[in-house]
Structure 1
Amino acid sequence: MRNWLKSVGIVVALGGASVAAIAQGNNNAVLLQGPATAIYESDVLNDAKRMPEEMRSSFLAKPESVAQMVEALYVRRAIAETARSSGLADQPEIAAAIKIATDKILSDAYLQKFNAEHKPDNKLAEAQAKAAYAAKKETFKAPEQVHIAHILVMNQEDDAAAKAKAEKLLAEAQAGADFAQLAKDNSSDASSAVKGGDLGLVSHGRMVPEFEAAAFALEKPNQLSPVIKSQFGYHIIKLFEKKPARTMSFEEVRPELEKQYVQQSLQTARQGEVERVLKAASWNRANMEAFSARFADKK
């Protein structure tokens, strides 16, 4: 603890400008400097890893968003420094919690490194995937599917009006109006309306019976269904493509088979590492039983 406090004193003595210069020299610039601590670029980058990767860059590109994160990090770090200075870190319960948190961070980092070192070679993964496919090719079945779009008109209160609107939209589509635009402007299904009504590939059992029957009755690309009523309202369905049931090709299933092989290989390697670690340890059963006994009367 004394060594840590001594290092803090040196940082304070150096002053804000010196600390910033040191950080910049390491390509790790100071973003917010306080009297005894600071927040660096690396702090923000590490904290940002909690976000989904696809959101990270857009968040970090906004100075106001980064400022909020930096402020929150600084307040937490400054309070933590105060807690250390007051001796809280030396309290047994707090010290134990810090050790457990540190263990988790370090063990997670080690396992990430372990996985990278034990990940199977791409060629081996491909060969194993090919072998798995050849051994059970008949099990890789794709069911009959239709690629469809739809327009939904909900019958909230006036059923006749909803049906009449759907019939009008169908007539417009049959006359050559852009189906996607009609869906965007009129469909009550907001999630598909933004995509021009596109529902993607759909297989049996995923839709209400009336809708499913109408969708799979369509045969030719761009064919339109009549107005169909379901529990949700009135639908117009457009067929893009119909795919019969078939055996999927190796290339279709290759990514998943390779992923499964890599995961299984890593799991086996990790289990071996766990067994290696545990082999060097020994249980103290008497202490275990004594520990549990202290809680027996509190159940």
Structure 2
Amino acid sequence: MFGGDIKVERIDLDALLVDGPAKAQKDVLASKKQILQLLRQTYLIRALADEYKQQGLADNKLLQAKIRRQQERMLYLERLKQIDEQPIPDFADAAKEQYLGNPDEYSIPEKVDAKHIMISTTDRLAQHHTREEALKIIKKVKAELDAGRTFEDLVPIYSEDPRSKDNQGTLGVFKRGAMVKPVVQAAFNMNKPGEISDIVESEFGFHIVKLVKKFPPQKQNFEQVKLGIIEKLTKDYIRNRREAYFDQLLESNDAAIYEDLVEEYIAKRLEDLDKQQPVKE
């Protein structure tokens, strides 16, 4: 694309596309309209930037610092790629040692599938009651359940949990510590599918919990978790290698921070920010 002294070339489109996933690049390339829009946008950005330079405004020190930061950020990321592309050890044996040394870490914890009826006492929900009112209602629900009414019939009548009221009170499958503690504890204290808990109280109100199904803990074999362990060991290795390189770079350059100047800068910036705040009458 050409216009005046400004032109947009193939390399400019490459710069826009190259960092995206291959599929995303193909989607863009499949649409001539999108390519034309990118060309137009790039041209306008370049044209307006050129106008700003001609006004002499690009010499502003703060703007120059922002531009330099953008350039340095891109170069920094490219240098990180070089560091990260250095050879990485084979972690297969280390993964096996990790697995054998930490068997519990690679087990699927016990889980339950449960439902609940909740009578709310929290003002975080539009529908709520005093504690005394809520307790009276939940006792009525429990009495109806004991008399033979089905849990699913009573959920739409009484439950005040907006997330599960229209779904038969479903809480889904969860593990210990995943939700409100009294509800979780009530669910895990039951063992027989269809079993219904006593009334329990939480920060949200009163609940009656029904156990749908209990899933015992399962130990995963090494092959099931091998790739995940290797991936974590690799990420840790790359991160530690980066940090070691950073430390060595700072040390070799005798890099130092002048904390008194940092404190002075903080005080000055805060003072400037306070001056920008509108005066409250």
Question: Would you say the 8 A contact 1:218–1:239 is kept in 2?
Answer: no
Q: Distance in 2 between matches of 1:215 and 1:248?
A: 24
CA 78–186 in structure 1, closer or farther in 2 if over 3 Å, else same: farther
Please name the residue that 2:74 is paired with: 105
**How far did 1:234 drift?**
2.6
Q: Is 2:110 the partner of 1:145?
A: yes
Question: Would you say the 8 A contact 1:140–1:248 is kept in 2?
Answer: no
**How far did 1:215 drift?**
1.5
**How far did 1:102 drift?**
1.2
**How far did 1:103 drift?**
0.5
Deviation per CA, 1:7-46: give whole Å up to 9, x if none. xxx942278xx86xx66xx794xxxxxxxxxxx9937x97
Q: Distance in 1 between matches of 2:115 and 2:251?
A: 61
Q: Identity over the aligned pairs, expressed in percent?
A: 15
Please name the residue that 2:31 is paired with: none
Please name the residue that 1:208 is paired with: 181
**Backbone CA RMSD of aligned residues:** 5.1
Please name the residue that 2:16 is paired with: 42
Q: Is 2:198 the partner of 1:224?
A: no
Q: Distance in 2 between matches of 1:73 and 1:227?
A: 66
CA 94–226 in structure 1, closer or farther in 2 if over 3 Å, else same: closer
Q: Distance in 2 between matches of 1:207 and 1:162?
A: 18
Equivalent position to 2:54, from 77, 85, 89: 85
CA 208–74 in structure 1, closer or farther in 2 if over 3 Å, else same: farther
Q: Distance in 1 between matches of 2:145 and 2:86?
A: 58
Please name the residue that 1:260 is paired with: 232
Question: Would you say the 8 A contact 2:196–2:210 is kept in 1?
Answer: yes
Question: Would you say the 8 A contact 1:146–1:201 is kept in 2?
Answer: yes
User: Can you give the 5+ residue segments of structure 1 that lack an aligned partner in the other structure?
Assistant: 1-9, 29-39, 61-65
Q: Distance in 2 between matches of 1:191 and 1:240?
A: 20
Q: What SS is found at the alignment partner of 2:172?
A: strand
Question: Would you say the 8 A contact 1:142–1:247 is kept in 2?
Answer: yes
Please name the residue that 1:274 is paired with: 246
Please name the residue that 1:63 is paired with: none
Q: Distance in 2 between matches of 1:195 and 1:111?
A: 49
Question: Would you say the 8 A contact 1:146–1:241 is kept in 2?
Answer: yes
Instruction: State how many pairs are aligned.
Output: 240
CA 14–78 in structure 1, closer or farther in 2 if over 3 Å, else same: closer
Higher relative contact order (CA 8 A, sep 6+): 2
Aligned amino acid, residue 92 of structure 1: K
User: Can you give the 5+ residue segments of structure 2 that lack an aligned partner in the other structure?
Assistant: 29-33, 121-127, 269-281
Question: Would you say the 8 A contact 2:108–2:220 is kept in 1?
Answer: no
Q: Is 2:88 the partner of 1:126?
A: no
Question: Would you say the 8 A contact 1:215–1:239 is kept in 2?
Answer: no
Higher share of residues assigned helix: 1
Aligned amino acid, residue 111 of structure 2: V
Q: Distance in 2 between matches of 1:237 and 1:202?
A: 15
